[in-house]
C-alpha cells in the first residue's frame, strides 16, 4: 500500500526526521489560506498523487504570492497528472500540499528498501539527490552507497555515521544526518514499510537537514496490525479493479490484455499468463483465488475479472490440492447464471474431485468450453477470444 507525500512526512516527523512546515488543501482558496498560516514569502504547491516525477509533469510549482498559489492550485486540482510512473491514464489530483520553500544548499538521495534476495533491509544513499535512483545508478554507479542491516541487531548508529561521512557532509552536520537516517530506519521498521524514500533530503543554507519529499510503501499483509496506517489508504489513487478484488480478499493485478484469468496459486497463475502469450493472446489480469476456494469465492473472482471492461474472454485454470474441483465447478456454474455471462469461457480442472467437477460442468447445460491441459486451455481461450472479436 502506498500513501501520499504529506502522510509519509508526518510519519517520518514522528520518528525524528525534520520536515518543512506544510499543510494540506482541497481548494485554491484553502491553498492560499494555508500559505498565510505557514508564513514566509515563498511556498511550494504540490499535487498529492501516488507517483514520483510530479515536478516534470507540472505537479510541483514554486509560488511567491497569493495569486500564484491560487493559479497553481487551480491548474492542478481536478486534473489527471500523467507521469512515467502513472501510465497514460494518469492519476486524478484531489488534494494539494502547500509547503514553505526551503533555501537549498545541496541535495541527497536516501532510500530504505527490502532486499528480498539478501533477506535484509538495504539502505541506498547518494550525494546526488533530486534525481531518480535509476538515473543515478545508470550514470554514476560509483556514487551509490549501500549498507545492509543485520536483522538480529537492527541498524546501528555507527552505520548511519558511516553513511553520513560517505556522503561528504560537513562535520557539523554529521550528528543531524545520523538522527535523520536512524529516524527513517525506525519509520521503516516500526510501521512495517517495504520502502522509505527521501528524495531529495536537503541540506539548507542554515545548516539544517530536511526531508523535502518522501514516499512510503507498506506490506499489505501487515496492515491488520497497523490500523493507523490502514486509515491512510487513498483508494482513489489505486487501480479500481485491484481495489475491488483486494477488498474481497483476492490477489489481483490488472494487466492490459483481453483474456481474464481465474487461477489458484501464484506459480500456476504466472504459467497461465505465459501460456496465453505463447498462444497469441494477451492476459487481462493476474488473479490467484488461493486455497480452499468455495463457490462464493469463485463468484467473487468472476465479478473481479468482469470489473475490467477490456475483458473479452475468461480462462479458469485450477489444479486442486487444497481446493476441490467440484467446488470450483459449482462456483463457475453459479457465476455464469447469476452474472448472465455472455463472454467465451474456458475451464480447465485438474486434481481433487476432478471427475465430479467436470460432470457438474457437463450437466449444467451452459456454454462452457473445457480443456484437459493448460496448453489446450490457453489455445482454446485465445481462439474463443478471436472468434468473439470476429463476431463483433
Residues recognised as catalytic: 109, 197
Question: CB–CB of 380/344 below 8 Å?
Answer: no
Closest to 112 in 3D by CA, of 138, 145, 84: 145
Query: Any known ligand binding at 379?
Result: no
Query: Any known ligand binding at 46?
Result: yes
Question: CB–CB of 99/40 below 8 Å?
Answer: no
Query: Any known ligand binding at 264?
Result: yes
Q: Could you tell me how many residues make up the chain?
A: 392
Specify whether the backbone of 353 is left (phi greater than 0), alpha (psi in -120 to 50) or beta. left
Closest to 218 in 3D by CA, of 205, 229, 207: 229
- In terms of DSSP H, where are the helices of the chain? 5-14, 28-38, 66-76, 133-139, 157-166, 174-190, 227-230, 240-246, 266-278, 295-306, 325-338, 354-363, 374-391
CA distance linking residue 57 with residue 55, whole number of Å: 5
For the chain, percent helix, then strand, then coil, each to nearest 5? 40, 25, 35
Query: DSSP string of 157-177?
Result: HHHHHHHHHHTT--GGGHHHH
- In terms of DSSP H, where are the helices of 342-373? 354-363
DSSP label of 283 = B
Question: CB–CB of 315/260 below 8 Å?
Answer: yes
Query: Any known ligand binding at 99?
Result: yes
Query: Any known ligand binding at 213?
Result: yes
Q: Hunting for cell 491488520 — which residue is that?
A: 224
Helices 174-190 and 157-166: angle between axes, nearest 10 degrees: 130
Q: Which residues pair with 285 in a beta bridge?
A: 254
Is residue 147 classed as helix, strand or coil in its secondary structure?
A: strand
Binding residues for ATP: 46, 99, 102, 107
Which residues belong to the annotated binding site for substrate? 264
Q: Which residues are annotated as a binding site for Mg(2+)?
A: 199, 213
- Residues of each annotated binding site: 46, 99, 102, 107, 199, 213, 264
Amino acid at each position: 500500500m502506498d500513501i501520499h507525500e504529506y502522510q509519509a512526512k508526518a510519519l517520518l516527523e514522528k520518528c525524528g526526521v525534520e520536515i518543512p512546515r506544510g499543510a494540506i488543501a482541497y481548494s485554491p482558496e484553502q491553498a492560499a489560506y494555508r500559505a498565510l498560516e505557514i508564513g514566509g514569502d515563498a511556498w511550494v504547491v504540490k499535487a498529492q498523487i501516488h507517483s514520483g516525477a510530479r515536478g516534470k509533469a507540472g505537479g510541483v510549482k514554486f509560488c511567491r504570492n497569493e495569486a500564484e498559489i491560487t493559479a497553481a492550485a487551480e491548474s492542478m486540482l481536478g486534473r489527471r497528472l500523467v507521469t512515467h510512473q502513472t501510465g497514460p491514464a494518469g492519476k486524478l489530483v484531489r488534494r494539494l500540499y502547500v509547503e514553505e520553500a526551503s533555501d537549498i544548499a545541496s541535495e541527497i538521495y536516501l532510500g530504505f528498501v527490502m532486499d528480498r534476495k539478501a533477506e535484509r533491509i538495504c539502505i541506498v544513499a547518494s550525494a546526488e539527490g533530486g534525481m531518480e535512483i535509476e538515473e543515478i545508478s545508470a550514470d554514476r554507479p560509483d556514487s551509490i552507497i549501500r549498507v545492509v542491516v543485520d536483522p538480529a541487531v537492527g541498524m546501528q548508529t555507527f552505520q548511519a555515521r558511516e553513511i553520513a561521512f560517505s556522503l561528504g557532509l560537513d562535520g557539523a552536520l554529521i550528528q543531524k544526518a545520523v538522527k535523520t537516517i536512524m529516524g527513517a530506519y525506525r519509520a521503516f521498521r516500526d510501521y512495517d514499510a517495504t520502502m522509505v524514500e527521501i528524495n531529495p533530503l536537503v541540506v539548507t543554507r542554515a545548516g539544517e537537514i530536511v526531508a523535502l519529499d518522501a514516499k512510503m510503501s507498506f506490506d499489505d499483509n501487515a496492515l491488520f496490525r497497523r490500523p493507523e496506517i490502514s486509515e491512510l489508504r487513498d483508494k482513489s489513487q489505486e487501480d479500481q479493479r485491484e481495489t475491488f478484488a483486494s477488498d474481497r480478499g483476492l490477489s489481483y493485478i490488472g494487466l492490459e490484455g483481453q483474456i481474464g484469468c481465474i487461477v489458484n496459486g501464484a506459480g500456476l497463475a504466472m504459467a497461465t499468463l505465459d501460456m496465453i502469450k505463447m498462444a497469441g493472446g494477451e492476459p487481462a489480469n493476474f488473479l490467484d483465488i488461493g486455497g480452499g476456494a468455495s463457490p462464493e469465492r469463485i463468484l467473487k473472482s468472476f465479478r473481479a475479472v468482469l470489473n475490467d471492461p477490456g475483458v473479452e474472454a475468461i480462462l479458469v485454470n485450477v489444479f486442486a490440492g487444497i481446493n476441490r474441483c467440484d467446488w470450483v465447478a459449482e462456483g463457475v456454474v453459479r457465476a455464469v447464471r447469476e452474472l448472465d455471462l455472455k463472454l467465451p469461457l474456458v475451464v480447465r480442472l485438474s486434481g481433487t474431485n476432478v471427475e465430479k467437477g467436470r460432470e457438474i460442468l457437463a450437466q449444467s447445460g451452459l456454454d462452457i468450453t473445457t480443456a484437459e491441459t493448460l496448453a489446450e486451455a490457453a489455445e482454446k481461450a485465445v481462439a474463443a477470444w478471436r472468434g468473439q472479436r470476429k463476431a463483433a
